[in-house]
Amino acid sequence: MSQRLTRDALHLNALLDETAHVDGGALVVFGGVVRRQDQGAEIQALDYDAHQEMAQARIRQIEEEILEREGVLACRIVHRWGLVPAGEASVLVVVRGRHRPEAFEAARDAIDEVKARVPLWKEDVHPDGVRAPHPPEAGTPLTPEKD
């Protein structure tokens, strides 16, 4: 699973294998999972739209920034696009560090950066098929990447 954006279900074991590091005393995994209930409404799935090339490039950039940190040995991020049913993961972040403080911090920052910088947009899909797009003002505005 070398891509950063996929339509397929995510497989944690592939990321664990890919990031294996003999000096990594800490392994932190974050998974974002589609909730069945959101603000009182039942959700059947989320439908993610993506600017695919830009999303791949920005996820790679975030991985590189996290890897530059002291004590971080590996960072891999994969996000789904298209329909993601309730109960399935939409994103996985895997960080390996020498010790747990830097690994926890790096994993948290990695998912925060994904949510703020990667061109992905979700739409709620309800069991009756009705779709509820998020309004254009909702979310975090994209800005140019650092020079």
The residues that touch another protein, with contacts defined as CB under 8 A, are 32, 48-51, 53-55, 57, 79, 90-91, 111, 114-123, 133-145
Q: Any residues with CB less than 8 A from the CB of 16 and at least 6 apart, and which?
A: 27, 29, 94
Closer Cβ to another protein, 23 or 137, answer by number: 137
Q: How far is the CB of 116 from another protein (least distance, A)?
A: 7
Closer Cβ to another protein, 62 or 72, answer by number: 62
Q: How far is the CB of 99 from another protein (least distance, A)?
A: 26
Closer Cβ to another protein, 127 or 133, answer by number: 133
Tokens 């789904």 correspond to 80
CA distance 99 to 1: 26
Q: What 3-state class would DSSP assign to 41?
A: strand
Asked if 75 and 94 count as a contact pair (C-beta separation under 8 A), the reply is yes
Closer Cβ to another protein, 72 or 111, answer by number: 111
Neighbours of 124 (CB within 10 A): 19
Q: How far is the CB of 18 from another protein (least distance, A)?
A: 21
